[in-house]
Amino acid sequence: MDENASARLTRRALTVAHRVSLFLAMLVICLPGIWIVLSSLRPTVEIMAKPPVWIPQEVSLDAYIAMFSGIGKGGIPVLDYFRNSLIISVTSTVIAVAIGMAGGYAFARYRFRGKSGMFLGLMLTRTVPGIALSLPLFFLYVRLGIIDTHIGMILAYVALNVPFTIWLIDGFFRQVPKDLAEAAQIDGCTRWQAFWQVEFPLARPGIASAAIFAFLTCWNEFALASQLTRSVNSKTLPVGLLDYTAEFTIDWRGMCALAVVMIIPALTLTYIVQKHLVGGLTSGAVKG
């Protein structure tokens, strides 16, 4: 065996090892999701079968039909939950992004005293665990009479999202060269006009990603929602999942079906923004 042949062999072995480990990693990542989708399509008997049935014998959409057919027919008020989730998420996202744009612009374009302290301070408000915040909020909301309302949830979610939208939008505005806005101002724009006509359009994809990220945070949030919502008036989908659990039993099939309904919008939106999101988070990482 000469050296060339053995080198070639090592290289091939490395390639195969790389492929195999990549495949295994992706399998571990995807399998739980695939399993959920599969379980939502199988009859409960098959899910509970012992020994397990690996290959589905019959596939049906019964779980989805039951879910949407309303209370009393094995369904839960999923349409109400869906509407609540949508209203709360969209409204709080719009407000959070508006506030985040103002704040992000301030951090990206101005120098002022206590800037980094301020930035850290805003971030720290995000670290308060939802469950810890829910105690005083619960008390306050009961006093103000906005427990179990959309307004209450929207307020809470705006506050939850503002620190992060500021971080992201700050990153996107930093990627827009300062000179462009200055050139526009020299050409006679006011700062306001320069912002809307030059900087905003350039940062728009990034701001859109910040919006989607905020939307997903609201869409998926559970710790606050589980304490601040009580009924179909404001219960969101993550809290609605609990409707499938009883004291000792869980309707796995129905739950898997609702999980799929929840995950589809999240999946689509995340796919759209993934590239911009990473750009916004890491901008300024290389040059501080």
Part of the chain binding another protein (CB under 8 A), chosen from 4-12, 66-74, 92-100, 196-204: 92-100
Give DSSP secondary structure letters for 104-157. HHHHHH---TTHHHHHHHHHHHHHS-HHHHHHHHHHHHHHHT-TTSHHHHHHHH
Token pair 């209203």: residue? 87
Pick from 140, 144, 180, 186 the residue near another protein by CB under 8 A. 140
Minimum CB separation from another protein for residue 74, in Å?
A: 19
For 252, phi then psi, to 5°, come to -60, -40
Interactions with another protein, residue window 177-236 (CB under 8 A): 216, 219-223, 226-227
Question: Mask: binding to another protein, 246-285, rule CB under 8 A, as x and -?
Answer: ----x-x--xx--x--xx--xx--xx--x---xx-xx-xx
Pick from 6, 11, 12, 21 the residue near another protein by CB under 8 A. 21
Minimum CB separation from another protein for residue 37, in Å?
A: 11
Minimum CB separation from another protein for residue 178, in Å?
A: 15
Q: What is the CA radius of gyration of the chain?
A: 25
* 50 versus 72: smaller Cβ distance to another protein: 50
Residue 128 in contact with another protein, rule: CB under 8 A = yes
Burial of 216 (0-12, 13-18, 19+ CB in 10 A): middle
Instruction: Provide the token pair at 24.
Output: 């295994």
SS3 218: helix
Q: Note whether 232 and 77 are within 8 A (CB).
A: yes
Pick from 135, 144, 151, 180 the residue near another protein by CB under 8 A. 135
Minimum CB separation from another protein for residue 73, in Å?
A: 23
Minimum CB separation from another protein for residue 91, in Å?
A: 14
Strand partners for 250: 245
